[in-house]
RNA sequence: GGUCGCGUACCCAAGUGGCCUAAGGGAACGGAUUGCAAAUCCGUGAUUCGUGGGUUCAAAUCCCACCGCGACCUCCA
């Protein structure tokens, strides 16, 4: 069964295939920067890359997935990509110092706000925690294969080598200000990925580019590869003086180091298309002499929240951890972030999160029923059951440029049908679908002190209610239930007693 | 200003020329169940696809215009 993907590079749908069928797919994803906690918009992009990887695996490919964790302090305002403004790691350090003073630093965090490496490591670990909760496979693999999530600060020699090669091949030059720039005019294919050809770029120049920086460059679109700056927070020795790398460089260098000069797939958010990925292509192709850097480019569109652009000032800005703390299960957040097609703007809503949770709970109930049926020897059914049939449609939908909405519909349809077929095979089919959705393993709220406190309170109230119900004191029973509702708890009376969950 | 994408029921969302008098989920409503709820199960739900034109035997699907939203061009997933 073929898998078709939209390729940003060709702006068309293409069948994804490998030259050698048993070779692993070389897949590079632009990962997070670690100046702060990743927000749900970041995670939509990372999780879509994860779904793509899982979809490829469902279709029989082996995938070597690499995702970088950017720990170099890039600049807050990158005037014409020359490095201006303030180091973001320094900004993060100041924020941490303030939080420390206010006593608002997260429990157990001992961190020196003046040490950029410590700041980066602090947020990198928090990212990995969030990512593993959400089932990002590459973050789970990182535990045993840390090289799959490389840090640019540990790959500076590879970046320097790349720049040297670009200079030697005449694709880069050292300007009067000592900065090493990539010469976009030396690469005729510049603009192929984004559509921002040099001609088009000239149109949009108007007034935004500072004359001082432009003066030393051969072309306004030339971008920085290495900037000598002995006062920079994070700096390394180089043939061009102590300084720091340009912000496109790390991905080219690390993709090459871990996957080779030519890769099969590269992903990122839509905003990465230009300039970041355009510049990566230019650097990588010019350094390697190959015509192709990545065969396929996969870009996820941005996320909105409750119909609006997510922003801190609107109060609709969420990190994954914010939501986990409210009792949102990682499974529900994962599904809400990936169920909308990756090439359309998705609208994240609290209601959507609830919808997802209900769907997942129904799937989990179906799985439990199947597991029970599979445990006892059942008459072997010759016919395929609903889940085995759904898997065929599911796989086809997933292979259709990751049409998860259609795939999920196939699963839901199976849920509504009469159980039939061999229970073991049915269970295997359901689990195969979950190998892409990735929800069964993480369908529980995260443990926390606050959650424990709530649980204790709820148990006490439930005990009171049990006593009232035993005495048929319905008024008291309902009063207690109202109290529970006020705590954000929903209860369920069943034959096995009363269960409860946090209403999200 | 330039380039590109999108607009389907109360909400999320599939469908991109005839199988569409439009999947799937949620909400709502009616019923079963329950001390009452919740959960569960059964049922109801767009003659219509942003608006106005056009092409076609046939359009949600193609073309044009307008309106609305978004992205990129500039740090951003």
Nearest nucleotide over every DNA/RNA strand to the A473 CA, judged by C1': B35
Same fold, A3-300 and A304-442: no
Predicted pLDDT of residue A54: 96
- pLDDT tens for A426-440 read 999 999 999 999 999
Q: pLDDT band at A206, cuts 50/70/90?
A: very low
* Domain A3-300, classified CATH 3.40.50.620, yes or no: yes
Q: Where would I find the beta strands (DSSP E) of A118-193?
A: 172-174, 180-182
Distance CA A321, CA A328 (A): 9
| Residue A483 in tokens | 């109290």
Distance CA A131, CA A333 (A): 11
Predicted pLDDT of residue A181: 93
Find and list the nucleotides of strand B having atoms within 7 Å of a protein beta carbon. 1-6, 11-15, 23-27, 34-42, 70-77
- pLDDT tens for A100-157 read 777 777 666 678 888 889 989 999 999 999 999 999 999 999 999 999 999 999 999 9
Is a pLDDT exceeding 90 seen at residue A386?
yes
Q: How far is the CA of A31 from the C1' of B17 (A)?
A: 41
Is a pLDDT exceeding 80 seen at residue A83?
no
Higher pLDDT, A52 or A13: A52
Distance CA A204, CA A327 (A): 46
The complex's ipTM works out to 0.91
The residue assigned the tokens 């195969």 is: A432
Name the helix (H) or strand (E) containing A460.
helix A449-470
Nearest nucleotide over every DNA/RNA strand to the A75 CA, judged by C1': B75
Grouping H, G, I as helix, E, B as strand and the rest as coil, residue A296 is strand
Q: How far is the CA of A382 from the C1' of B25 (A)?
A: 31
| Residue A305 in tokens | 């929240």
Nearest nucleotide over every DNA/RNA strand to the A345 CA, judged by C1': B70
Is a pLDDT exceeding 90 seen at residue A1?
no
- Quick one: CATH architecture of A304-442? Orthogonal Bundle (1.10)
Q: How far is the CA of A30 from the C1' of B77 (A)?
A: 9
Q: How far is the CA of A483 from the C1' of B23 (A)?
A: 41
DSSP tag of A81: G
Predicted pLDDT of residue A321: 92
Percent of chain A with pLDDT over 70: 93
Question: What does each C-alpha distance from A411 to A363, A406, A444 come to in angstroms?
Answer: 8, 9, 21
Predicted pLDDT of residue A97: 83
Contacts of A37 (CB under 8 A, 6+ apart): A123, A126, A127, A130, A319, A320, A321
| Residue A326 in tokens | 């409210």
Domain boundaries, chain A: 3-300, 304-442, 449-502
Nearest nucleotide over every DNA/RNA strand to the A209 CA, judged by C1': B74
């Amino acid at each position: 069964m073929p898998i078709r993907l939209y390729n940003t590079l060709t702006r068309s749908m293409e069948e994804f295939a490998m030259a050698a069928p048993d070779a692993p797919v070389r897949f590079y994803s632009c990962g997070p920067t670690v100046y702060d906690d990743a927000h749900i918009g970041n995670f939509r992009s990372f999780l879509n890359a994860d779904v793509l990887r899982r979809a490829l695996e469902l279709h029989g490919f082996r995938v070597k997935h690499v995702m970088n964790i950017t720990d170099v302090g890039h600049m807050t305002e990158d005037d014409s990509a020359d490095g201006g403004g303030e180091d973001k790691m320094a900004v993060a350090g100041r924020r941490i110092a303030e939080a420390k003073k206010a006593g608002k630093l997260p429990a157990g965090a001992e961190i020196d706000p003046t040490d950029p490496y410590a700041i980066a490591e602090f947020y990198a670990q928090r990212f990995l925690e969030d990512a593993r909760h959400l089932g990002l496979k590459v973050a789970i693999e990182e535990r045993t294969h840390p090289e799959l999530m490389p840090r640019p600060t540990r790959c500076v020699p590879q970046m320097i080598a790349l720049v040297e090669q670009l200079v030697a091949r005449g694709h880069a030059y050292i300007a009067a200000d000592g900065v090493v720039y990539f010469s976009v005019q030396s690469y005729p294919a510049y603009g192929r990925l984004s559509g921002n050809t040099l001609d088009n770029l000239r149109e949009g120049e108007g007034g935004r580019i500072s004359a001082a920086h432009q003066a030393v460059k051969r072309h306004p679109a030339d971008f920085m590869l290495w900037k000598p700056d002995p006062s920079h927070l994070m700096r390394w020795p180089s043939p061009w003086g102590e300084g720091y790398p340009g912000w496109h460089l790390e991905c080219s260098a690390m993709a090459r180091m871990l996957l080779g000069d030519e890769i099969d797939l590269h992903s990122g958010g839509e905003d990465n298309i230009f300039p970041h990925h355009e510049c990566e292509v230019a650097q990588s192709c010019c350094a390697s002499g190959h015509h192709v850097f990545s065969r396929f480019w996969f870009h996820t569109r941005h996320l909105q929240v409750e119909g609006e652009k997510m922003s801190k000032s609107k109060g609709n800005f969420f990190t994954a951890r914010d939501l986990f703390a409210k009792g949102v299960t990682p499974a529900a957040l994962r599904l809400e972030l990936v169920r909308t097609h990756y090439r359309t703007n998705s609208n994240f809503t609290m209601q959507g999160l609830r919808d997802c949770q209900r769907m997942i709970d129904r799937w989990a109930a179906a799985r439990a029923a199947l597991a029970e049926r599979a445990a006892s020897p059942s008459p072997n059914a010759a016919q395929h059951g609903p889940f085995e049939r759904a898997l065929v449609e599911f796989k086809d939908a997933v292979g259709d440029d990751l049409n998860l909405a259609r795939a999920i519909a196939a699963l839901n349809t199976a849920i509504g049908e009469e159980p039939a077929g061999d229970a073991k095979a049915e269970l295997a089919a359901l689990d195969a679908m979950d190998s892409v959705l990735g929800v069964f393993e993480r369908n529980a709220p995260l443990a926390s002190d606050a959650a424990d406190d709530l649980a204790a309170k709820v148990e006490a109230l439930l005990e009171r209610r049990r006593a009232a119900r035993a005495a048929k004191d319905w008024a008291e029973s309902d009063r207690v239930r109202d109290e529970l509702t006020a705590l954000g708890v929903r209860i369920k009376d069943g034959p096995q007693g009363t269960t409860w969950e946090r209403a999200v």
